[in-house]
Structure 1
Amino acid sequence: MARYGRLTAMTILPETDVARIQEWCSARVPEHARDQVRVEADIAERHVTIVECRPPWRPEAGPEWTRLPVARLRYTKSTKKWSLYWRDRNLKFHIYDRLPADTDVDVLLTEINQDPTAIFWG
C-alpha cells in the first residue's frame, strides 16, 4: 500500500534506480510488521524521499498515517550521480558529507541502511 509518485515525461530519474529504491523500501519492514510501520518512497522530478510511515496512535488522531521523511536521494542528470541528504529536526534536508555522490544508488541505500552516524533512523 505504498504511495509512490509516478514517473512522467518531466521526471529525469532513471527508472531502474527508482525501481531499486522502491524495492529497498518494501524490503525494509517485514511483512508481519507492515500494519505498524512502513517505509515508502515519495518520487519527485529530481529526487526520491524515503519516508517512514506509522498508523495513528489514538483513534481520535484520524485514519491517516503519519509520514516522517528519513532521507532524500537527489539525482543530477548531467553527472548521472545520486547524492544523499539527511533531514534535521526542522524537516530541512542537508547534504550527507560522509559519502560522495555516486552513480550506483545501492551505495547510498546501503549507507542509509547501516546508518553509521544514527542520523537517518536514530
Structure 2
Amino acid sequence: MNNPGEKRDFDIARFKFSVKNRNWTLYWCDRNGKWRVFDEVKPNNDISSFFDLIDRHPIFYG
C-alpha cells in the first residue's frame, strides 16, 4: 500500500567490529539483500567517521 504517512524502516548500512584488528568495517546492502564491504573506505577504529559518508553517498540510498 502507498501510504505516505506510514513509517518504513530500511537497513542501509551495517558495521562489523573486528576484535583482532580493533576496527570497524562498513557494509552496504545490494539490491538482492546481500551485504557487501564498502571498499571506498578502509576499516577504521572510529565508527562515527562513517556517518557523514553514509549520509552523502548514493549507494546507501540508491
Q: For this structure pair, what is the TM-score category when the shorter chain's length is used for normalisation? A: 0.7 to 0.9
Measured against aligned partners, the alpha-carbon deviations of 1:2-51 in whole angstroms (never above 9, x if no partner) come to xxxxxxxxxxxxxxxxxxxxxxxxxxxxxxxxxxxxxxxxxxxxxxxxxx
SS in 1 for 2:13: strand
Aligned length: 60
RMSD (Å) for aligned C-alpha atoms = 1.9
Runs of 4+ displaced beyond 4 Å: none
Q: Which has the larger radius of gyration?
A: 1
Match of residue 39 from structure 2: 97
What amino acid is aligned across from residue 3 of structure 2 in structure 1? W
Structure 1 alignment gaps of length 5 or more: 1-55
Task: Report which structure shows greater RCO (CA 8 Å, sep ≥6).
Answer: 2
Structure 2 alignment gaps of length 5 or more: none
1:68 positional shift: 1.6
What amino acid is aligned across from residue 38 of structure 2 in structure 1? Y
Match for 1:73 among 2, 15, 23?
Answer: 15
- TM-score normalised over the length of structure 2: 0.80
Find the aligned partners of 1:89 and 1:67 in 2 and give their Cα distance: 16
SS in 2 for 1:86: strand
1:121 positional shift: 1.8
1:76 positional shift: 0.8
